[in-house]
C-alpha cells in the first residue's frame, strides 16, 4: 500500500511521516506542501491512499479531494485536520476517514487497519460484466443505462422519453396502462396528440434499445406496456439483494457492511426528481438511515466509537434535519469526553430546530443537555 501526504504545515507533514514509519505496512511515496504539486505528481506516484489536510491556501483539501478522485478514482482519501467542523463536508466527498490533529498513534493504526480491509469491492457494474449481463442501469442519484465494454450510455431523445423509460422501469414486470402514461407525461394535450406522442416515444425508445443490443424489452400488453429486463443489473435491486443480514460478527463483516452503505451513492432518481418516485425515494433513504445508525451503534459496541462517530456524521450529512442524529452525536461525544463537541452540536441543533421547525429542541434533549454529567454511559447508541 502506497500513500502521499499533503499538508501545508511542515511540522504536521513530518509528524505524519514519522508515525506512519513507526506503524509500518505502508510506503510513503511523496510529501507535498500544497495540493497543486500533489496533483501534478499523482500520475507518476499512483498512491493507494492520500492523507490530506483541509485548511490549506490556494486550494483547500475538500476541493483537492474531488480532483484527486477524478484523476485517480481508486485512491482512498483520509482527511487530517485540526477542525472538527469540516467532518460533514469531508464525508460528502466520500472520504474513508477523518483524523483530528494532533493525530494519536492508536487512532492512526485503526485507520491503517481500515485501509487494509477496504480494498475496493467489485461494483455492481463490474458484476454485470463478469456475469455476462448486457447492461447496467443506475437509479441512485441519476438515471442512466450503460452498456458495452466502454460503459456507453443510452441516449435519450427527449426528457419525456427518459421519464417514460424511468416510469416503466420503476414498474418493471408490471403492466402500465396507456392512459396512465398519458396523464403522467402529456396531461395538457388533446387525446389524439398525446397518444401520437406516446406511440412515437415508445418507438424511439425501442429503436435506441435495439441499436444498443441490450436485453431490455418494452412489450405491448392489452391495455398498455410492460418493461422487462433480461440479464440486466439494476443498482437498486443489486443493493437491496446485498443487504447485510447478520451483525453478530461485525469485525468480520465490517468491510461488507460499509461497502454496502457506501454503494448508496445518492437518492433514487434524485437528479430527475420525479414526483411519482417520492415514495420509493423515501423508502430507500429510510432503509439506509436505519442501517447506518445500526452500524454506528455496533461499532461503538465493538470498541470502535470513533468509527461510530464517523458514520453518525455521514448520516447527519444526508439527514441534516434529524434531531435524533444530533442527539446520538452529542451522546457519543459526551461518552468520549469531548465536551466542546457536545456544546457545538447542541448549538447546531438549536439553530437547525428554530430555522426548520420554529421551536427549540425537544424537551428530553434539552433536559439531557442541561443535566448531563461527565460520568456518561459507555454505550451511547441504542442499536
pLDDT for the residue 70: 65
User: Omega of the bond prior to 376 within 30 degrees of 0, cis?
Assistant: no
289-348 confidence digits (pLDDT tens): 999 999 999 999 889 999 999 999 999 999 999 999 999 999 999 999 999 999 999 999
Query: What's the mean pLDDT when you consider all of the chain?
Result: 88
Domain co-membership, 366 together with 282: yes
The H or E element spanning position 282 is helix 278-301
Q: Is residue 262 part of a domain?
A: no
d(CA 27, CA 24): 8
Domain residues for the domain of 18 are: 2-117
Identify whether the C-beta of residue 81 lies closer than 8 Å to the C-beta of residue 55. Answer: yes
User: Measured between alpha carbons, how far is residue 329 from residues 115, 169, 323, 332, 372 in Å?
Assistant: 24, 38, 10, 5, 14
Domain co-membership, 101 together with 137: no
Q: Is residue 297 part of a domain?
A: yes
pLDDT for the residue 156: 94
pLDDT for the residue 244: 80
Q: Is the dihedral of CA 63, 66, 71, 75 positive or negative?
A: positive
Domain co-membership, 144 together with 217: yes
Domain co-membership, 113 together with 210: no
CATH code for the domain in which residue 331 is found: 1.25.40.10
pLDDT for the residue 133: 42
76-81 vs 216-220, strand pairing mode: unpaired
Domain co-membership, 112 together with 7: yes
- 50, burial (CB in 10 Å: exposed 0-12, middle 13-18, buried 19+): buried
Q: Show the low-confidence residues of the chain (pLDDT under 70).
A: 70, 88, 92, 119-134, 245-249, 251, 373-383
Domain co-membership, 139 together with 198: yes
Identify whether the C-beta of residue 225 lies closer than 8 Å to the C-beta of residue 219. Answer: yes
Domain co-membership, 83 together with 157: no
154-188 confidence digits (pLDDT tens): 999 999 999 999 999 999 999 999 999 999 999 99
Identify whether the C-beta of residue 26 lies closer than 8 Å to the C-beta of residue 2. Answer: yes
Domain co-membership, 39 together with 108: yes
Final residue belonging to a domain, choices 93, 117, 141:
117
DSSP 268: B
pLDDT for the residue 124: 45
Ramachandran assignment for 24, one of left (phi > 0), alpha (psi -120 to 50 degrees), beta (any other): left
- Count the residues in the chain: 383
Residue 333 makes CB contacts below 8 A (sequence gap 6+) with: 309, 339, 341, 342, 345
Can you list the positions of beta strands (E) in 139-245? 144-147, 152-153, 176-177, 216-220, 224-229, 232-234
CATH code for the domain in which residue 106 is found: 3.40.50.2300
Domain co-membership, 192 together with 225: yes
Predicted model pTM: 0.67
SS (H, E, C) 22-69: HHCCCEEEEEECCHHHHHHHHHHHCCCEEEECCCCCCCCHHHHHHHHH
Residue 298 makes CB contacts below 8 A (sequence gap 6+) with: 247, 250, 308, 383
Neighbours of 263 (CB within 10 A): 16
Residue 167 makes CB contacts below 8 A (sequence gap 6+) with: 176, 181, 184, 274, 276
pLDDT for the residue 72: 80
The helix/strand/coil state of 153 is strand
Amino acid at each position: 500500500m502506497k500513500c502521499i501526504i499533503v499538508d501545508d504545515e511542515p511540522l504536521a507533514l513530518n509528524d505524519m511521516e514519522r508515525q506512519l514509519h513507526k506503524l509500518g505496512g505502508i510506503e510513503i511515496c511523496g510529501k507535498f506542501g500544497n495540493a497543486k504539486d500533489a496533483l501534478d505528481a499523482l500520475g507518476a506516484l499512483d498512491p493507494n491512499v492520500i492523507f490530506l489536510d483541509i485548511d490549506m491556501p490556494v486550494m483547500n483539501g475538500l476541493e483537492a479531494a474531488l480532483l484527486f478522485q477524478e484523476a485517480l478514482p481508486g485512491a482512498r482519501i483520509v482527511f487530517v485536520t485540526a477542525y472538527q467542523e469540516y467532518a460533514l463536508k469531508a464525508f460528502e466527498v466520500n472520504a474513508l476517514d477523518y483524523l483530528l490533529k494532533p493525530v494519536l498513534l492508536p487512532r492512526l493504526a485503526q485507520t491503517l487497519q481500515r485501509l487494509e480491509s477496504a480494498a475496493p469491492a467489485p461494483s455492481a457494474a463490474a458484476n454485470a460484466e463478469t456475469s455476462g449481463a448486457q447492461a447496467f442501469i443506475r437509479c441512485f442519484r441519476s438515471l442512466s443505462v450503460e452498456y458495452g465494454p466502454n460503459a456507453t450510455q443510452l441516449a435519450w431523445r427527449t426528457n419525456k422519453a427518459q421519464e417514460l423509460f424511468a416510469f416503466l422501469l420503476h414498474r418493471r414486470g408490471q403492466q402500465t396502462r396507456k392512459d396512465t402514461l398519458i396523464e403522467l407525461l402529456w396531461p395538457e394535450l388533446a387525446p389524439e396528440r398525446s397518444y401520437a406522442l406516446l406511440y412515437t416515444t415508445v418507438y424511439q425508445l425501442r429503436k435506441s434499445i435495439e441499436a444498443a443490443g441490450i436485453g431490455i424489452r418494452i412489450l405491448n400488453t392489452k391495455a398498455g406496456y410492460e418493461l422487462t429486463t433480461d440479464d440486466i443489473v439494476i443498482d437498486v435491486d443489486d443493493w437491496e439483494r446485498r443487504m447485510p443480514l447478520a451483525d453478530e460478527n461485525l469485525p468480520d463483516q465490517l468491510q461488507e457492511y460499509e461497502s454496502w452503505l457506501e454503494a448508496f451513492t445518492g437518492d433514487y432518481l434524485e437528479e430527475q426528481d420525479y414526483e411519482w418516485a417520492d415514495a420509493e425515494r423515501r423508502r430507500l433513504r429510510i432503509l439506509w438511515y436505519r442501517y447506518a445508525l445500526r452500524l454506528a451503534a455496533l461499532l461503538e459496541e465493538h470498541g470502535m466509537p470513533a468509527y461510530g462517530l464517523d458514520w453518525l456524521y455521514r448520516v447527519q450529512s444526508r439527514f441534516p434535519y434529524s434531531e435524533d442524529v444530533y442527539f446520538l452525536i452529542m451522546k457519543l461525544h459526551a461518552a468520549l469526553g469531548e465536551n466542546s463537541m457536545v456544546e457545538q452540536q447542541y448549538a447546531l441543533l438549536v439553530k437547525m430546530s428554530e430555522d426548520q421547525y420554529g421551536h427549540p429542541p425537544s424537551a428530553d434533549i434539552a433536559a439531557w443537555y442541561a443535566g448531563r454529567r461527565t460520568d456518561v454511559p459507555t454505550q451511547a447508541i441504542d442499536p
